[in-house]
Amino acid sequence: KAGVTQTPRYLIKTRGQQVTLSCSPISGHRSVSWYQQTPGQGLQFLFEYFSETQRNKGNFPGRFSGRQFSNSRSEMNVSTLELGDSALYLCASDSGGGEVGTEAFFGQGTRLTVV
Amino acid sequence: AQKITQTQPGMFVQEKEAVTLDCTYDTSDPSYGLFWYKQPSSGEMIFLIYQGSYDQQNATEGRYSLNFQKARKSANLVISASQLGDSAMYFCAMRGVTRGGYSTLTFGKGTMLLVSP
């Protein structure tokens, strides 16, 4: 079956603009999580959505938001972009059961560059 | 709070040799899961191996094995017979339980592995 699909793969935006990233999970998966990856901070958890509700949230400012649709597809939005938002944004989907052994499947990421 | 520590920023190994990538963790959760992921330059995180905190035996998946020492809170990845295609970033991750009762993944900083011919 198809894997996790993230679009677009690459984005260049200007400071102050906003951006929307999209993630289509594996069919049947109900949980979608978003991560920001930078060379300095590594992989940091942004938020998780399950059944259209935000279930967990990382320590990011309110400029970072997300949502999930009834078909489990998810979008994340970053408003008022800053240079420090340049990163690889990874989306992961899983069954959503919440067990500690739940395997997450990742997309190839969206590389955002803010200039 | 959970924390994963990978102390090796980079490792070099020759093709066909074995290599161990270190991972230590800290958690107060009684139950947790430990994962290793590989990230090639393309960016996608590829699942390699999983170890549950209550599993008695060390996990193995083909050329990958996980050396789990619970008392030391370590979960080292062992890659046997390295191949050129193993060159990538490797991340150790842990899934514990949040206050809401659901689990999230916490990642280490990663180790860059380079395999030479």
Chain B nearest C-alpha distance from A92 (Å): 9
Q: What string of pLDDT tens digits covers the 117 residues of chain B?
A: 789 999 999 999 999 999 999 999 999 888 899 999 999 998 999 999 999 999 989 999 999 999 999 999 999 999 999 999 999 999 999 998 766 667 788 999 999 999 999
What distance in Å separates the CA atoms of residue A114 and residue A101, rounded to the nearest whole number? 36
Chain A nearest C-alpha distance from B103 (Å): 5
Residue ranges of E strands in chain A = 5-7, 10-13, 19-24, 31-38, 42-50, 53-57, 64-68, 74-78, 87-94, 105-106, 110-114
B49, closest residue in chain A (CA to CA): A103
Residue at token pair 């370590």: B74
The 8-class DSSP code of residue A25 comes to P
User: Can you give the pLDDT at residue B12?
Assistant: 97
Q: How many CB atoms are located within 10 Å of the residue B107 CB?
A: 20
* Cβ atoms A106, A92 nearer than 8 A: yes
Tokens coding B11: 């490792």
Mean pLDDT in residue range A18-28: 97
Share of chain A above pLDDT 90, in %: 87
Quick: pLDDT tens for A24-71: 999 999 999 999 999 989 999 999 999 999 998 999 999 999 999 999
Chain B nearest C-alpha distance from A46 (Å): 11
What distance in Å separates the CA atoms of residue B82 and residue B87, rounded to the nearest whole number? 9
Tokens coding A10: 């690459």
User: Can you give the pLDDT at residue A102?
Assistant: 87
Query: Which residues does chain A have within 8 Å of residue B102's beta carbon, measured at their own beta carbons?
Result: 48, 50, 55-56, 98
User: Can you give the pLDDT at residue A96?
Assistant: 81
What distance in Å separates the CA atoms of residue B105 and residue B83, rounded to the nearest whole number? 28
A100 at B interface, C-beta within 8 A = yes
